[in-house]
Structure 1
């Protein structure tokens, strides 16, 4: 069975991961790639709305709760606040049928292929010296990187898409 490739985008908060992905996904889709995404959040979030039946059922203790319409499906599963979550576990649960690529935002401390986003003006330390799974850097300023670590222009989404398609996905398929 074919498994989609997994590529992450890692950076500290405020670097622009989501902004980049919202521009990158349409370009990748224009190349007939089917894209899924896993976004890691450090915050509690609520997808359901108080007063709705699915919210009331979950509040009553049901977990998981699946909400289905002819347009979309959502599964809400309660997790223990002290549970460590891993990318491997999330990938195992992710519906990947028909996908070519799963993009991951976050899980920056796990080892899987990822592009590090850098804005030197934020003054944050680089991740790549400690993380051999970083396959490229995307920065809004030129950086001196090792010869085997491409440095892409963070503001050139077309160039990042070209790297994903022509370098990353080609390597994954070879």
Structure 2
């Protein structure tokens, strides 16, 4: 399975670029999945729902299924967060998995950068970042794309992963 990451500091456009890339790749006929890392507690469930009640009662995993989609929620119950490789192994095969976040993992990535965020480039000290997508010109020894040039970024990623 081919993987490629979108990384960067908070408020630099990662999620917007991910959304546009998924749209672009699927429009080109590629199957795509995504993994999003959250640094904070999150819940995809809602108190009062049957599935939430199952989790609160102590279920390790709760699968929610319908005619449109299914979701599997796994409670860690004081276990360590699983490594990215373990999460990727749980995905069904697709052409490309886009990974948002996980900036310290060794997979290839493109970094999002916005002047307004006022943060330094991660790519300066990280060779796993193969290119930068920015709203301003940056000087670095890797390709730099306009943050809004989704087609060019998509083409770069497809070449990088061999699709």
* Kept in 1: contact 2:45–2:51 (CA 8 A): yes
Deviations 1:50-93 (A, max 9, x none): 22211111110011111111211111111246724421121122
Q: Are 1:164 and 2:157 an aligned pair?
A: yes
Cα distance change, pair 124–85 in 1 and its aligned pair in 2 (3 A): farther
Deviations 1:11-46 (A, max 9, x none): 011111111111221111111000000000112111
Partner residue of 1:61? 58
What is the aligned counterpart of 1:113 among 100, 108, 115? 108
* Kept in 1: contact 2:60–2:76 (CA 8 A): no
RMSD: 1.6
* Kept in 2: contact 1:24–1:157 (CA 8 A): yes
Partner residue of 2:13? 16
What's the TM-score, normalizing by structure 2? 0.92
Secondary structure (helix, strand or coil) at the match of 1:26 reads: helix
What is the alpha-carbon distance in structure 1 between the residues aligned to residue 139 and residue 63 of structure 2? 48
Partner residue of 1:27? 24
* Kept in 2: contact 1:138–1:151 (CA 8 A): yes
Consecutive aligned runs of 4 or more in structure 1 exceeding 3 Å deviation = none
> 5+ unaligned residues in a row in structure 2: which ranges?
none
Q: Give the paired residue count.
A: 163
Deviations 1:111-146 (A, max 9, x none): 111001111332212111221111111111111111
What's the TM-score, normalizing by structure 1? 0.87
What is the alpha-carbon distance in structure 2 between the residues aligned to residue 106 and residue 8 of structure 1? 7
Correspondence 1:80-91 to 2 at 5 A = 80=77, 83-91=80-88
> 5+ unaligned residues in a row in structure 1: which ranges?
none
What is the alpha-carbon distance in structure 2 between the residues aligned to residue 115 and residue 145 of structure 1? 13
